[in-house]
Chains A and B, each alone.
Chain A
């Protein structure tokens, strides 16, 4: 399918046209905040079936996901500092090699 002047695929405009809008970031953020509030709110009033006591904490799964995700990402910088070396550290890359030198 031909692209338009901006190099945008027509399908991209139809499916992802909203992505580049200046309010998109805020809509996603506040949308997620709203959905999170609803999910935890339901948990406060709904009596879930639980197998372990820790699951009884309202919003346990949400809080756990939030903290786990944050922890993993925040570990990224110190781990990168500790483990990242130059691209050709093992000395096996060809000149101008990228992605294993895919032809």
Chain B
């Protein structure tokens, strides 16, 4: 590898390919670029020397590190590149320059952000992820998608602005812009940084951009979006705020509340968006715990999650592509015409539910063990509750209502071959990283990539105790589902809009703005007339008093006024002497 290539941030290669895609009318060339570039980027990454600033520059007095690799950034970057490759394969059937370019630039920005070493460079790529990805929502071409895209862009740009503001505050105090571990509250600008990362990670009450935008994105767009934005935030949280206790509780709440929304949501892509929220909660919680075991858990969970969540979005994308809907109330029985998609969806469901032999099991076990080991009993109980919830919405609800359950009598073609290939490869990874005792394969190899491989080596996920307790949790939860179905206690899937925190700005805030506008339109002219009348009268009074023809300018006023001022001054002086 040449010296230049060895110091090139692999994300820049993806961004360059994305720019070429934007101007390339030939679909075949774009197809080659979307698949070959992430593979080439991985080749670059694999040759990078770790823990060294490989590319840096100074600008406006700020030292910027554009490429630096370590064990934490490596696993995130690696997962992003796998996702970019799978997304490229999944999108092969579509001839859409804008989406190809958008997906590549967005993926590249996320990869580049993962390997930068300062806040200023992070800000640049952070904003680029927002601006490039919005086209994946806009390309749906509906009014609803347009609205969601604008809200998405607004929220993401706000996150970037907060990041920049926080970073400049930090720089003003410390003179150091490097991306490093910070203490919340102690270092300047850290709360702003936490808010910036929190928006992107979809912290509670800041989360609705996710459920708003992802289900409105195109078939391919939702798959692409699911991989990068929130996991980039998770990476930065792990880099900057590892061990901050507040993250333990934020993460725990994140795991629990989406479970309730997911159970009543009818749109299965929105269910997946809530599920994404819930899964990121596990990672945030692990980052808050901050031990080596916990940080390994966060990184492993992020890696596994990028693949299995992508797989689930791919399966729902295939359903949407073939049937035109992902509404649970309109689906069912699709296993008859889309059996391969159903099989891959079931593998994704088993992985996210953390069944033994699937990726979620070897990843989530690390976090659960770390939380319990550090004595966070209530948080652990919350995560365990959320694990049962994951089985409900992603493990059972998604495959059951799409592929089994009530037969919708929709008889469609199986998903295109390229979609099946992408889903097949994702399924393979979900199993390959979880297999026990397979040389050069399985969780041993997976754990070797984690930020703290020594801590990972001593951890055994496949103990009899782990398998027994996890199978108890999952099997009895599945039994609860079967019993609730049998006794008609499972809530019926019904169309509708589920209110969430975004009601505050989509309904209350927007309503207040409309109301203010209406009030102003009606009362404005009258209020302006009153104001102008008052101003006119005041002006007349002032003019009558102070103008050259005014009262104060007449006769011996100036001299008289001086005498009266002197008299008053004397009176004040006299009073002050006497008192």
What is A's interface to B at a CB cutoff of 8 Å? 1, 3, 6-9, 11-12, 15-16, 19, 25, 28-29, 32-33, 35-36, 39-40, 42-43, 46, 48-49, 51-52, 54-55, 59, 61-66, 68-70, 72-77, 79-80, 83-90, 92-94, 97-103
Contact = CB atoms under 8 A, between A and B. Distances in A.
30 contacts: A12-B337, A16-B335, A32-B475, A35-B471, A35-B475, A43-B468, A48-B468, A55-B469, A61-B384, A61-B472, A64-B473, A70-B484, A72-B388, A73-B484, A79-B264, A83-B264, A85-B498, A86-B497, A87-B496, A93-B143, A98-B324, A99-B320, A99-B327, A100-B217, A101-B142, A101-B143, A101-B144, A101-B145, A102-B218, A102-B325
- Choose among B144, B216, B373, B464 the residue with the greatest number of A CB atoms under 10 Å from its CB: B144
Interface stretch (B32-40, B280-288, B485-493, B562-570): B485-493
Contacts of B337: 3, 7-9, 12
Contact of A92 (B141, B144, B215, B392): B144
A90 B414 contact: no
Contacts of A6: 336
B389 interface: yes
Interface string B290-331: 000000000000000000000000000000100011110000
Nearest to A1: B414
B569 to A, nearest CB: 69
A102 B479 contact: no
B56 to A, nearest CB: 43
A66 B477 contact: yes
B343 interface: yes
Contact of A49 (B267, B326, B338, B465): B465
A103 B377 contact: no
Contacts of A79: 260, 263-264
B142 A97 contact: yes
Contact of A29 (B326, B392, B482): B482
Given A9-B414, A69-B388, A102-B324, A90 B497 contact: yes
Given A32-B479, A72-B389, A83-B264, A51 B372 contact: yes
Given A84-B264, A93-B144, A99 B494 contact: no
Given A7-B337, A9-B339, A16-B335, A63 B143 contact: no
A85 B264 CA distance: 12
A69 B269 CA distance: 21
A77 B468 CA distance: 32
B164 interface: no
A61 to B, nearest CB: 4
A73 B482 CA distance: 12
Interface string B320-362: 1000111100000001111110110000000000000000000
Nearest to B463: A49
B480 A66 contact: yes
Interface of B: 140-145, 147-148, 215-219, 259-260, 263-264, 267, 269, 320, 324-327, 335-340, 342-343, 372-373, 377, 380, 384-385, 387-389, 391-392, 404, 411, 414, 463-465, 468-484, 486, 489-491, 494-500, 506-507
- The 7 A-B pairs with the shortest beta carbon distances in the complex, nearest first, are A101-B142, A7-B411, A76-B491, A62-B472, A68-B388, A65-B473, A12-B339
A1 B260 CA distance: 40
B476 A16 contact: no
Contacts of B143: 92-94, 97, 101
A66 to B, nearest CB: 4
Contacts of A90: 147, 497, 506-507
Nearest to B484: A73
Contacts of B480: 65-66, 69-70, 73
B180 to A, nearest CB: 33
A97 B414 CA distance: 24
B176 to A, nearest CB: 40
A57 to B, nearest CB: 11
A84 B496 contact: yes
A89 B263 contact: no
A100 B144 contact: yes
Given A65-B476, A101-B144, 11 more contacts: A40-B472, A48-B465, A52-B380, A85-B496, A86-B496, A97-B143, A99-B215, A100-B216, A100-B217, A101-B141, A103-B140
Given A28-B482, A69-B392, A84-B497, A42 B468 contact: yes
A54 B380 CA distance: 12
A19 B335 contact: yes
Contacts of A35: 471, 475
B496 to A, nearest CB: 4
A39 B476 CA distance: 9
Nearest to B510: A90
Contacts of B215: 99-100
A46 B468 contact: yes
Contact of B482 (A32, A55, A75, A101): A32
Contacts of A28: 482
A76 B259 CA distance: 10
A6 B497 CA distance: 35
Contacts of A66: 476-477, 479-480
Contact of B269 (A73, A76, A99): A99
A19 B342 CA distance: 13
A88 B495 CA distance: 10
Given A12-B335, A69-B481, A61 B469 contact: yes
Nearest to B507: A90
